Amino acid sequence: MKVLRWYCPNCDEDKELGVELREQAVRVRGEEMRATVEGLVCPDCQKDIFHPELDGRLQQAALELYRGHHRLLRPEDIRGFRGKYGLSQRALARLLGWGLITIQRYEAGALQDEAHDTVLRQLEEPDFVLSLVERCGARLSEREKKMVGEAVAAAAAGKGKKESGDLWRAAQVWASDRAPTGSPERGFRAFDPERFGQLVLWFAARHGGLFKTKLAKLLWLVDFAHFRRHRISVSGLAYARAPNGPMPDGFLFLLGLLEAQGVVEINEETVGAYQGEVIRSKDFPRADEFSPEERDTLERVDGRFGAMTASRLSELSHRERAWLGRVDGDLIPYPEADGVDFMERMWD
Ligand SMILES: [Zn+2]
């Protein structure tokens, strides 16, 4: 018989106690679970002896049985769902509006209540996660949003083209939540993920790869310059003030979706003296996506600003009132384009 040196409180001495497999009853939420695990028995007084580690195993076995009976997620399932979207415990807690300690406890083996279980179970569905990001994305950092966007898009892409379209539609819903469709913040247009993708491709293909910060400026110039002349934006993107100039709202998240769809590739690279994330096209832009007027705007923006560095473009935008009058994160309504003089000179 296997033995373990331990204390028998009945005999009041340390001695070799027998280790035996035995069925023991544990109550879990009022229900009796009978688990068969190792326990200690004293060879002299024949009493069952408590041992913290063996008792821990008994508790876990009983919880395991209870989870099985009630079809509750196991801690490894919860860790798995979270890992699938690249979310930290903190990010998931923020997204669900729960305390960090709650997620930590569940993953460490504490039994979740059934309502929480129902919510956690839905994490398996990319659409559910995306809807959470739509509603509560402001609680995540841009980097976290980008990671979730990529993971959700990859999960959806793996399930076929149809659902990947659903994902873009969801991205549209998310965008309209930030600034209403057709509002001045979108240049009186609905955000169109397809056009956004084509715009990115157009610049990435033409430049053979360009820095993310530079792309952000060129998109802003295209949309605002086009608006100044034609009173409507090209992409329907909203632009927010960011430390180095106007930035498409949710830029990293939207680029993440494009990358996950295999439209572009984004890598940290060094080009000359500069280092940063470089976007390269993995697809060809479609010639028919844009109207003649829009193509004209694209050519003029690229002709005038395409050769400038990202930091030169930042300096340019920093002189503008549209920029100076707001704080980081504020959306910049398109009519502000009227105050940007160099945009009018583009048509000279
Ligand atoms: Zn004893």
**pLDDT tens digits, one per residue of 54-66:** 999 999 999 999 9
Nearest to 322 by CA among 308, 335, 304: 335
pLDDT-derived band at 71 (thresholds 50, 70, 90) equals very high
User: 188 and 232 share a domain?
Assistant: yes
Q: How far, in Å, is the centroid of ligand 1 from the Cα of 50?
A: 11
Nearest to 223 by CA among 327, 144, 334, 123: 334
User: 61 and 100 share a domain?
Assistant: no
Asked if residue 315 belongs to a domain, the reply is yes
User: 223 and 283 share a domain?
Assistant: yes
Q: In terms of C-beta density within 10 A (0-12 exposed, 13-18 middle, 19 or more buried), how is residue 161 classed?
A: exposed
Q: How far, in Å, is the centroid of ligand 1 from the Cα of 59?
A: 24
Give the separation between CA 271 and CA 281, rounded to whole angstroms.
17
Q: How far, in Å, is the centroid of ligand 1 from the Cα of 317?
A: 83
User: 14 and 128 share a domain?
Assistant: no
Domain count for the chain, please give it: 3
Domain end, chosen from 137, 163, 189, is at 163
* Mean pLDDT over each residue of the chain, to the nearest integer: 85
User: 188 and 39 share a domain?
Assistant: no
Q: How far, in Å, is the centroid of ligand 1 from the Cα of 7?
A: 8
Indicate if the pLDDT at residue 199 is higher than 80.
yes
Asked if residue 168 belongs to a domain, the reply is no
Give the separation between CA 171 and CA 212, rounded to whole angstroms.
20
User: 184 and 281 share a domain?
Assistant: yes
Q: How far, in Å, is the centroid of ligand 1 from the Cα of 17?
A: 8
Q: How far, in Å, is the centroid of ligand 1 from the Cα of 45?
A: 4
Give the separation between CA 169 and CA 14, rounded to whole angstroms.
69
**pTM of this structure:** 0.60
- Residue 212 backbone phi and psi in degrees, to 5: -55, -40
Percent of the chain past pLDDT 70, that is, above it, reads: 92
Indicate if the pLDDT at residue 177 is higher than 70.
no
Indicate if the pLDDT at residue 175 is higher than 80.
no
Q: How far, in Å, is the centroid of ligand 1 from the Cα of 20?
A: 15
Could you list which residues have their CB under 5 Å from ion ligand 1?
8, 10-11, 42, 44-45
What pLDDT does 13 receive? Answer: 95
Give the separation between CA 331 and CA 313, rounded to whole angstroms.
19
* Tokens of residue 343, six digits: 């945009």
Indicate if the pLDDT at residue 327 is higher than 80.
no
Contact 328, 239 (CB under 8 A): no
CB-CB neighbours of 323 under 10 Å? 18
